[in-house]
Chain A
């Protein structure tokens, strides 16, 4: 008996597709997505600045890697408000490689401080919790893996604690 392989029967068209084959779903991009757990370095009543993000990739495939920060801060009622910082997303293109490559990419995530619609400064992502959405899309045959990532963080003493919470003054 030889090595087995899985084949799908399609409900979209009369076709048989071999699984674990190619870098797309019969032409449709496959978007890998990882949402990391929230980092909360200053604990549940603290505030922190986040960044940069280091992403360690192993690849042979040409691909696009996109990182979108997500920050959460409590509102005055103490309810955690999550914000996906779509405008602060960072994207890189990596080229195909004949041999397996491994590299750590640094994503210096920051938010814009604007005045009258004009950016006047950039500052670190700040909040009680922070997470990152990592999206990976291959554009050719090959491997694309995440070996790990790390997030820089600085806990602050000037905590963002709503005044009307039980632990507030």
Chain B
């Protein structure tokens, strides 16, 4: 039995001065993923995914409370495109507003972004130290639902574009920092917009803060002033308007370690300096690093860990914790019941954070979608075997904060499925792309609007089949036919074949192959290739002359053009046909040209590109009227150049009286295999006029 019981109350937090406890320890050596408060230590809450993007990183989240929506900025590491999305107030249902910019190749990636609402507009600034790599400052105007570039006529060059490093509301102004005039860099400059006009910046409305060239890291409005942070200083604005603005140095030693490593809470700025966490309202800052555990990277060690530039602060309102995030690590300052430090290790890597207002609901029924139509049906961008279908509709009685639900019932299914949501648009008309639908399939669509968890009365039924017909659409997705290719070959002295390759576009569907009789007649079904046979891979069907019951392929089957058609057989429909034609013989020569040899009567230089370099080439002329071709010459194979081009072949036409005539010449290949000659189509039929320099006896037409 123990002689004594040593108790330890919770709530002590991390203590860098913790030493041996004799009998009344009050602080902890290590504390991870725990929150302290009111005599308890409890495991912190987690994080739950509410929306996803096709891009790689979400680099900014900001509320737009005046519109009861949110804005997110997402970065695609592959294309380096930075796109802006509109979301619900609770961060759901992202709807693309548009592309903001493509990140410069040498700019910091992912991009850091400052977002600030002023005058009902949401401004976005690219926090890139290098002005030449910095994106234009833009603002989202919910009235137009577009991104607008911030410009001023005094900005030199570059289409008058302003490129702030960050923006923040200050009194009735919008303050932007880090931009000169376009020609001269201004990392030390803070500019103020006209009061009440956050998108209008006059040239002279700026302040130089501290030493020129020493960049401003960030600005924060708190305690009635604008705090201007540099890396090792903090300045404060005094005055209430541009007429009496001044800026004074209030902290000569402590600045901001990273541009987003601060949080404003009830007039207090809690920030991380090069020496660790500090706090300020007005005047010099105070150290709030005590007590802070030693079991983790020391504040002074953090820069060496490489997580500094993207460090950011955030505030957890439920637990009243300010956290400083360094990739997956976070120092967490519990504010109640007294300030204590903890340490978090996360299962994911946050890049940014934003306080949103997810339950901002207005009264009244949501609107509804009307006149739903099918606008487009195309091969799915992400999966060519599927279909992307765009539907359009009219927004009726929408307020602007509704979420639209898309419900589909596929042919053969019993239950409807909600497949997508989006935020209602600003306009009367809206469209949305439903992705990756099954091809050739009947679908029924219903669109329902909700605000929070509220629906219109006639949309409250759990079965979308009972909702009004206004928002209903039945449609059948299209099918794409397979791609076709056909190649002729001779396989014996009595047999030829055309290998027809069908490449399926859609997975798991049968294909049908048809062929005509080679004389422009009707098509007949050659074969049905089942999904199991082609297995979603290119499938080659050998159309062999023997199999078709053609007794003599050299006459019946031979030299003619056959047309093939193929189509895809879907659940509810069949596709259009794809078609390919194939000459049942060797490929023809191309680029046939003949040019008269000056001064040498009836003599021409000919050139062509061989269709088959193993084939001979026959040249015919039609000196016998009318158009009765006779063989002029047979040119042996094997003298083409590496690209199959045959040049330098001259021929002499047969002269007749009268000497001035017109000749037609044509060429074709003759390919001999298995002792059988196969011929290509004729090409060229070049009209050659032979002139007589001595006489003009007039043209002699054919009798």
- Identify which of A5, A21, A51, A129 gathers the most chain B CB atoms within 10 Å of its CB: A5
Q: Are A5 and B52 in contact (CB under 8 A)?
A: no
Q: List A contacts of B49 (CB < 8 A).
A: 15-17, 26
- Could you tell me the distance in whole angstroms from the C-beta of B41 to the nearest C-beta in chain A? 5
Residue of B nearest to A155 (CB): B3
Whether the pair B28, A4 counts as a contact (CB closer than 8 A) is no
Q: How far is the CB of B317 from chain A (nearest CB, A)?
A: 5
Tell me whether A152 and B4 are in contact (CB under 8 A): yes
Bound CA–CA A6/B316 (angstroms): 6
Complex CA distance for A3 and B355, rounded to whole angstroms = 10
A35 and B359 within 8 A (CB): no
Which of A90-98, A113-121, A137-145, A159-167 is the contact stretch? A137-145
Q: When chains A and B are docked, how far (Å) is the Cα of A61 from the Cα of B243?
A: 59
- Determine the interface band of chain A, counting residues with CB < 8 A from chain B: 35 or more
Q: How far is the CB of B659 from chain A (nearest CB, A)?
A: 80
Which of A9, A34, A145 is within 8 Å of B61, CB to CB? Answer: A9
A19 engages B33 (CB within 8 Å)? no
Question: Which A residues are CB-close (under 8 A) to B42?
Answer: 32, 143-146
Contact between A148 and B59, CB atoms less than 8 A apart: no
B58 proximity list for chain A (CB < 8 A): 9-10, 14-16
Tell me the bound Cα distance from A15 to B89 in angstroms. 16
Q: Mark B348-363, 1 if CB is under 8 A from A, else 0.
A: 1111111111111100
Q: Known interface pairs A14-B55, A150-B5. Does A5 touch B347 (Cβ–Cβ under 8 Å)?
A: no
Whether B317 and A5, one on each chain, are in contact in the complex, defined by CB atoms closer than 8 angstroms, is yes
A74 in the interface, Cβ–Cβ < 8 Å?
no
What 7 pairs across the A-B complex have the smallest Cβ distances? A28-B347, A152-B2, A9-B58, A25-B347, A35-B30, A14-B53, A32-B43
CA gap between A145 and B346 in the complex, in Å: 19
With A and B bound together, what is the CA distance between A1 and B87 in angstroms?
A: 17
A1-42: CB near B (< 8 Å → 1, else 0) gives: 111111111111111111111111111111111111111110
User: Which one of B3, B33, B354 contacts A154 once the chains associate, using CB atoms below 8 Å?
Assistant: B3
* B110 partner residues in chain A, CB cutoff 8 A: 11
Specify which chain A residues have a CB less than 8 angstroms from the CB of B32 in the assembled complex.
31-33
- Shortest distance from the beta carbon of A70 to any chain B beta carbon, whole Å: 10
Which listed segment binds A: B14-22, B402-410, B524-532?
A: B14-22
Residues 40 to 88 of chain B near chain A (Cβ within 8 Å): 40-61, 65, 72, 74, 87
The residues of A that contact B346 with a CB separation of less than 8 Å are 25, 28
Q: How far is the CA of A28 from the CA of B564 in the complex (A)?
A: 56
22 contacts between A and B (CB under 8 A): A1-B65, A5-B317, A5-B355, A8-B61, A10-B351, A11-B351, A14-B54, A14-B57, A14-B74, A15-B49, A18-B47, A22-B46, A22-B47, A26-B48, A32-B42, A35-B295, A37-B29, A147-B40, A148-B8, A150-B6, A152-B5, A153-B5
Interface of chain A: mostly helix, strand, loop or mixed: strand
Extra contacts besides A6-B316, A21-B46 (8): CB < 8 Å:
A6-B314, A9-B57, A9-B72, A14-B53, A15-B51, A32-B34, A136-B43, A147-B39
- Answer whether residue B25 sits at the interface, using C-beta atoms and an 8 A cutoff: yes
Using a CB–CB cutoff of 8 Å, the interface residues on chain A facing chain B are: 1-41, 43-44, 49, 51-52, 54, 58, 129, 131, 133, 136-138, 143-155
Query: Which residue of A is nearest B68, CB measured?
Result: A2
Cα of A39 to Cα of B110 in the assembled complex, Å:
47
CA distance A156 to B347 in the complex (A): 45
8 Å CB contact of B316 from A16, A19, A43, A144: A19
CB closest chain-B residue, reference A21: B48
User: Which of chain A's residues has its CB closest to B345's CB?
Assistant: A31
A137 contacts across to B, CB distance below 8 A: 43
Whether the pair A44, B20 counts as a contact (CB closer than 8 A) is yes
Quick check: is B220 within 8 A (CB to CB) of the other chain?
Answer: no
Docked complex Cα distance between A149 and B350 (Å): 33
Check B225 for interface membership: any CB of A closer than 8 A: no
Residues of chain B with a CB closer than 8 A to A25's CB: 46-47, 346-348
* B23 CB–A CB distance under 8 Å: yes
Q: Cβ of A154: which chain B residues have Cβ within 8 Å of it?
A: 1-4
Taking CB atoms, residues of chain A closer than 8 Å to B266 are none
Cβ of B9 under 8 Å from chain A = yes
Residue of A nearest to B346 (CB): A25
Given A16-B58, A148-B10, does the pair A37, B25 have CB atoms closer than 8 Å? yes
Contact of A36 among B25, B55, B318, B356 (CB under 8 A): B25
Give Cα A1–Cα B117 distance, bound, in whole angstroms: 15
B318 surroundings in chain A (CB, below 8 A): 5, 20
Does B51 lie within 8 Å of A5, measured CB to CB? no
- Establish whether residues B33 and A7, one from each chain, have CB atoms under 8 Å apart when the complex forms: no
A35 touches B47 (CB 8 A): no
B40 touches A10 (CB 8 A): no
* Known contacts A7-B354, A8-B350: A15-B52 contact under CB 8 Å: yes
Question: Taking the complex as formed, is B535 at the interface, i.e. its CB lies under 8 A from any CB of chain A?
Answer: no
Asked whether B675 is an interface residue with its Cβ less than 8 Å from the other chain, the reply is no
Verify B356–A12 contact, CB threshold 8 A. no
Q: A136 to B34: give the CA distance in the assembly, Å.
A: 9
Q: Which B517-574 residues have C-beta < 8 A from chain A?
A: none
Q: Are A30 and B352 within 8 A (Cβ)?
A: no
Q: Which residue on chain A has the smallest CB distance to residue B70? A: A7
Q: Are B41 and A34 in contact (CB under 8 A)?
A: yes
Residues A5 and B352 in contact, CB atoms below 8 Å apart:
no
Q: Which residues of A contact B355 (CB under 8 A)?
A: 4-7
- Bound Cα distance A43, B22 (Å): 7
**A-side contacts of B30, CB under 8 Å:** 33-35, 133
> Across the two chains, which residue of chain B brings its CB closest to A52?
B2
